[in-house]
Amino acid sequence: MGLIIYLDGQYVEEENAKVSVFDHGLLYGDGVFEGIRAYHGFVFKLKEHIDRLYQGAHTIGLRINETPEEMAQVVVETCRRNNLTDAYIRLVVTRGKGDLGLDPNKCPKSTTFCIAATIKLYPEELYQKGMGVVTVATRRNIAEACNPRVKSLNYLNNIYAKMEANLAGAGEGIMLNNEGYVAEATGDNVFYVKNGVLITPPIYAGLLEGVTRNCVMELARKRGIEVKETLFTRMDLYTADECFLTGTAAEVIPVVKYDGRVIGKGEPGEITKMLIEDYRNYIKNAGDGERI
């Protein structure tokens, strides 16, 4: 039996979850989405994900049919109907069915669907030993073009970068902004540690404000670790004491090599390991979770 999918007010079997070939989400990548995790019967940081979805939709002038409260229930109910207590949830809102032109005004109603399944982005071994990453040539979209703060369906910028990382045999690709500062990875936010200070790029550097990113910063501050949001270059990562990435799917994963340069001692650092443990304890205890 396949998955049960939420689609525009109904819960349907996977094979019946169909959208029009005229949907502008398919034709033009016009829409927004969220990747959300459920752990131990709780949907993690659901409010933050829902808020970001609606902020992105508002930014691109996309009207969502469901209210935020209804959307939160959609996520929870989709997990329930699939008997999932641990899940990766993909919540998507497209511009909806229109014609073959670009004009969003030709799309009278948006399309919403929600999928609850499972995901494992990296093997557990990499969380223990760390992974290598590389700088990719593809620059992060500039805010004046396709603002990275909107988690839109148009992900070609990230896909180009992921292809480059794959070709280099790296676990992830680090994207620079148009000014040459580190922005983010293809699907994760970037952190490094120098002299006991935790540093990550500011939002205006051209990155998605990650829910996991913000959670890890909060956990670090509770530990008494100084956290800075500031611009930095590749050299700062080359000479860092520690480095790690954060994301909904990746959680907190150590980086031990960047562009062939060993970071620190070439193994996950003490602050990194501490934050991995803190994050895992936080989700284990259903921090800010919505019960399924």
Percent of the chain residues past pLDDT 90, beyond the cut: 95
Out of 117, 144, 167, pick the residue that ends a domain.
Answer: 117
| Structure confidence by residue, pLDDT tens digits, 113-172 | 999 998 888 999 999 999 999 999 999 999 999 999 999 999 999 999 999 999 999 999
pLDDT, mean over the chain: 96
pLDDT category, 288, cuts 50, 70, 90?
Answer: low
Q: Is position 257 annotated as part of the catalytic site?
A: no
Same domain, 141 and 101: no
In a domain, 40, yes or no: yes
3-state SS class at 208? coil
179: CATH: 3.20.10.10
Active-site choice (151, 222, 228, 257): 151
Mean pLDDT across 221-228: 98
Q: List the helix and strand counts (H, then E) for the chain.
A: 9, 16
Contacts (Cβ under 8 Å, ≥6 apart) of 114: 5, 6, 74, 75, 78, 89, 90, 91, 92
- Reported in sequence order, the residue ranges of the chain that DSSP labels E, i.e. its strands, are 4-7, 10-13, 31-39, 42-44, 87-94, 111-117, 131-135, 172-176, 182-185, 189-194, 197-200, 227-229, 242-247, 251-258, 261-262, 289-291
| Structure confidence by residue, pLDDT tens digits, 59-68 | 999 999 999 9
85: CATH: 3.30.470.10
Do the beta carbons of residue 91 and residue 54 sit within 8 Å? no
- pLDDT of 268 above 80: yes
Q: State how many domains the chain has.
A: 2
Residue 33 is predicted with a pLDDT of 98
Residue 287 is predicted with a pLDDT of 61
> The domain containing residue 87 runs over which residues?
4-117
Task: Centre a 10 Å sphere on the Cβ of residue 135 and count the other Cβ atoms it contains.
Answer: 19
Residue 225 burial (10 A CB sphere; 0-12, 13-18, 19+): middle
